[in-house]
Structure 1
Amino acid sequence: MKYRTLGDTELKLSVITFGAWAAGGWMWGGTERKEAVNAIKASYDAGVTSIDTAPIYGQGTSEEIVGEAIKDIPRDKVQLLTKFGMRWDLAKGDFATHSQDNSGRDIDIYKYAGKESIIKECEDSLKRLGTDYIDLYQIHWPDRTTPIQETMEAVDLLIRQGKVRYAGVCNYSAAQMAEAEKYVSLASNQVPYSMVLRDIEKDVVPYCQEHGKGILAYSPMQRGLLTGKIKPGHRFAGGDHRASNVFFREENLVRTNAFLNSIKPLADSKGLTLGQLVLLWTLEQPGITIALAGARNEAQAVQNAGAVEQNLSEDEIREITEKLEQIELVL
């Protein structure tokens, strides 16, 4: 495994970080708790020391699973990244979406990052994770109903109390990051980034590079699209959000798989799966610090970790990018 320092902090993360959204089951058709715990343990054994989770993932389930998986690991050997600002148990703030929890019960989710809510969320996360501090505490989505100043001053308080080491944001624009920086020192921005979704290259990447902020790329395999395992005609299980996701429309599956077939010989020559090659390419892009990769079982976890056992030359990166830029998805 390879490790990189996050921005200007002293926090060193594994370049493949375990993304625990799917482990929580919510929006992924449920979860098998034992398999999820074993996936995290296998990931750690393969060198993945960093785990990214959030309370909303399974409405606490993901954090509980992470806590169970790391309980026998020395705390200073693992980096816990979690989030705040999405409430399913409080109708306050900016309404986000209507959903269902893992038991099928209807829930309404709000983006809310008021001071008292953040403090409560932090305490709840610490209990579920079984720890007394969080390495990186990130606002999950911008909350239009709460001033950024109030939100960031609350996180700064948690840092001074020793409950949080570093502050991060997710899904923030460059302008929102600049505003947040007035009240707390940000370590990073966690944003969607993949071969087929590169919007952050316009402003977020340049801002982070200029100001020494890390970038955590989430959904680098575009929620499984770029693994090559999802073919035209695929039918998702009930409760899987990808069934209605634009990237998984039939015409996009056809075009994406054609691109993946064109780079498969390179993957084969290096003894890599397509997913591993995609992760490698992502980690070589300017400004990207780490890539989050989810896994539902041990085999997937070990495969993700194994991506960094190989390297890509500048020519190989250029070759992939040139082929990539020929795809025209219908979005």
Structure 2
Amino acid sequence: MEYRQLGQSDLQVSAITFGAWAIGGWMWGGAERKDAREAIRASIDEGVTSIDTAPIYGQGTSEEIVGEALQGVNRDKVQILTKFGMTWEGTKGALAMKSKDNNGKDIDVHKYAGKESVIKECEDSLRRLRTDYIDLYQIHWPDVTTPIEETFEAVLRLKEQGKILAAGVCNYSMDQMKQADKVIPLASNQVPFSMVERTIEKELVPYCIEAKKGILAYSPLQRGILTGKIKPGHAFGEGDSRSSNRFYQADNIARINAFLALIKPLAESKNATLAQLVIRWTIERPGITVALAGARNAGQAVQNAQAINVKLSSEEIDFINKHLYALSLV
């Protein structure tokens, strides 16, 4: 595994980080708890030291599973990355979505990061994670109803109390990062980034490189479509939100698969899967510190971690990019 400093913080994180959204079940059509624990442990055995989760992932389920999986693991050897600011209890903040929990019960999810709520969420996360500190504490989405200064004053208090080691953001713009950074130095921004979703390269990546902020790329496989295993007409399970995602519309599935067919021989020449090639390409991009890769069982987790063994020359990266830049999605 390769380990990288996260921004200017003291955190060293694994370049491939375990993304724990899917194991929470929510919006992924369910998950098997035992398999999820085994996936985390298998990742650790492969050298993955960083695990990214959030309270909203299964309304506490993902954090609980992470806490269970890390029992008996040397806490100093792993980094727990979790989040705050997506609440399913109460009505404060901006309504993010109407959804259903893992039991099919209707829930309203709000983006809310008021000071007292942030502190309460941290306490709840510590309990579910069975730990006394969080390595990286990240706001999940911007909260337009609360001043950024108020939110990060709460985060600063948590850092002063030793309950968190570093502060981060998710889905923040450059300007929002600058505001938060005035209150507490930010280690990183976690944002969507993949071969087919490169919006952040216009403004955010250059800023983060200049300001020495880490970038955690989530959905580097674009929720599975860049594995090459999703074909037109794919049937998604109940509760799986990918069915309405634009990348999963029939025309785009066909175009993406045509692109993947062009780079598949390169993956095969390295005894790698398409997914491994894509993950390696992701962490080679300028400014990208970490690729988050989700897994619901040990086999998937091992495959993701072993993407680190794929080595790409500059000529091979150029080859991938040439075909990638010719890809036109609708």
* Structure 1 outlier segments of 4+, above 4 Å: none
Alpha-carbon distance in structure 2 between the residues aligned to 1:92 and 1:9: 32
Q: CA RMSD in A?
A: 0.5
Once the two structures are TM-superposed, the CA of residue 90 in structure 1 deviates from its matched residue by 1.6
What does residue 221 of structure 1 align with? 221
What does residue 155 of structure 2 align with? 155
Asked if the contact 2:191/2:216 (under 8 Å) is kept, the reply is: yes
Query: Does the alignment pair 1:230 with 2:230?
Result: yes
What does residue 72 of structure 2 align with? 72
1:121-270 counterparts in 2 under 5 A?
121-270=121-270
**Which letter does structure 1 place at the counterpart of 2:190?**
Q
Query: Does the alignment pair 1:304 with 2:309?
Result: no
What does residue 282 of structure 1 align with? 282
**Which letter does structure 1 place at the counterpart of 2:137?**
Y
Once the two structures are TM-superposed, the CA of residue 310 in structure 1 deviates from its matched residue by 1.9
**Which letter does structure 2 place at the counterpart of 1:250?**
A
SS at match of 2:63: helix
**Which letter does structure 1 place at the counterpart of 2:226?**
L
Query: Does the alignment pair 1:317 with 2:317?
Result: yes
Asked if the contact 2:276/2:304 (under 8 Å) is kept, the reply is: yes
Once the two structures are TM-superposed, the CA of residue 171 in structure 1 deviates from its matched residue by 0.2
Once the two structures are TM-superposed, the CA of residue 314 in structure 1 deviates from its matched residue by 0.5
SS at match of 1:9: coil
SS at match of 1:135: strand
Q: What is the number of equivalent residue pairs in this alignment? A: 330
- The alignment's TM-score, normalised by the length of structure 2, stands at 1.00
Alpha-carbon distance in structure 2 between the residues aligned to 1:77 and 1:71: 12
Asked if the contact 2:15/2:289 (under 8 Å) is kept, the reply is: yes
**Structure 1 unmatched ranges of 5 or more:** none
1:100-115 counterparts in 2 under 5 A?
100-115=100-115
SS at match of 1:55: coil
Once the two structures are TM-superposed, the CA of residue 262 in structure 1 deviates from its matched residue by 0.3
**Which letter does structure 1 place at the counterpart of 2:249?**
R
Deviation string, structure 1 residues 134-162 (Cα, Å, up to 9, x no partner): 00000000000000000011000000000
Once the two structures are TM-superposed, the CA of residue 179 in structure 1 deviates from its matched residue by 0.7
Once the two structures are TM-superposed, the CA of residue 25 in structure 1 deviates from its matched residue by 0.2
**Which letter does structure 2 place at the counterpart of 1:85?**
G
Once the two structures are TM-superposed, the CA of residue 305 in structure 1 deviates from its matched residue by 0.3
Query: Does the alignment pair 1:29 with 2:29?
Result: yes
**Which letter does structure 1 place at the counterpart of 2:299?**
A
- Percent of aligned pairs with the same residue? 67
Alpha-carbon distance in structure 1 between the residues aligned to 2:160 and 2:212: 22
SS at match of 1:17: strand
Deviation string, structure 1 residues 6-38 (Cα, Å, up to 9, x no partner): 011110001100000000000000110000010
Asked if the contact 2:17/2:293 (under 8 Å) is kept, the reply is: yes
SS at match of 2:47: coil
Asked if the contact 2:276/2:310 (under 8 Å) is kept, the reply is: no
SS at match of 1:328: coil
Once the two structures are TM-superposed, the CA of residue 232 in structure 1 deviates from its matched residue by 1.1
Alpha-carbon distance in structure 2 between the residues aligned to 1:318 and 1:156: 43
Alpha-carbon distance in structure 2 between the residues aligned to 1:14 and 1:112: 30
SS at match of 1:266: helix
SS at match of 1:329: coil
SS at match of 1:283: helix
Once the two structures are TM-superposed, the CA of residue 309 in structure 1 deviates from its matched residue by 0.8
**Which letter does structure 1 place at the counterpart of 2:124?**
D
Query: Does the alignment pair 1:99 with 2:99?
Result: yes
SS at match of 1:300: helix
Once the two structures are TM-superposed, the CA of residue 233 in structure 1 deviates from its matched residue by 1.2
Alpha-carbon distance in structure 2 between the residues aligned to 1:224 and 1:159: 35
Alpha-carbon distance in structure 1 between the residues aligned to 2:212 and 2:2: 20
Alpha-carbon distance in structure 2 between the residues aligned to 1:66 and 1:185: 27
